[in-house]
C-alpha cells in the first residue's frame, strides 16, 4: 500500500478571499440593529413562557401511564401464553391448548376494555 499524503492546506487567514464578505456586519446585515433581540419592540414574548416543558395535566398523565403499564403487562402475558399454547398444541395436549386459546381471547378482551375505558384520551 502506498503512503499518499493529501495536498498541504493553504495558510489560514481570517476573512474571505471574496471582498464582499469582508464588509462589517452592519453592512452585510442591515436588518440587524444593536437593539435587535431583547430591546426590539417587535419582540413580545421571549420564550415559551413559564411552566413550559412541564406536565400540564399530571392526573391525566399518570392515568395514561397506568393504563399503558396494564396494557403492556397483558401483551407480555399474551406472548407467554401463546408460546405455552403452541408448545402444548405441538405436543398433542389439545385440551391444554384450548385453555390457552381461551386465556388469549380473554386477555385480548381486557386490552379492548382498557382501550374503551376513556374515549377522550385517544
- For residue range 39-83, list pLDDT tens digits in order: 666 666 666 666 666 667 777 788 888 888 888 888 898 899 999
Write down the pTM of the prediction. 0.48
For residues 106-122, average pLDDT: 79
Residues 6 or more apart whose CB falls under 8 angstroms from that of 104 comprise 78, 81, 82, 85
Instruction: Give residue-wise pLDDT tens across range 82-92.
Output: 999 999 999 99
Contact assessment for residue 85 and residue 101, using Cβ atoms and an 8 Å cutoff: yes
Amino acid at each position: 500500500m502506498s503512503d499518499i499524503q493529501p495536498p498541504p492546506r493553504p495558510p489560514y487567514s481570517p476573512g474571505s478571499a471574496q471582498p464582499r464578505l469582508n464588509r462589517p456586519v452592519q453592512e452585510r446585515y442591515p436588518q440587524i440593529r444593536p437593539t435587535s433581540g431583547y430591546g426590539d419592540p417587535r419582540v413580545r414574548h421571549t420564550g415559551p413562557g413559564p411552566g413550559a416543558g412541564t406536565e400540564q395535566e399530571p392526573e391525566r398523565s399518570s392515568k395514561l401511564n397506568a393504563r399503558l403499564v396494564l396494557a403492556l403487562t397483558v401483551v407480555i402475558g399474551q406472548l407467554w401464553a401463546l408460546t405455552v399454547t403452541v408448545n402444548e398444541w405441538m405436543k398433542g395436549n389439545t385440551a391444554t391448548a384450548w385453555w390457552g386459546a381461551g386465556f388469549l381471547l380473554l386477555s385480548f378482551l381486557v386490552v379492548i376494555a382498557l382501550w374503551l375505558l376513556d374515549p377522550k384520551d385517544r
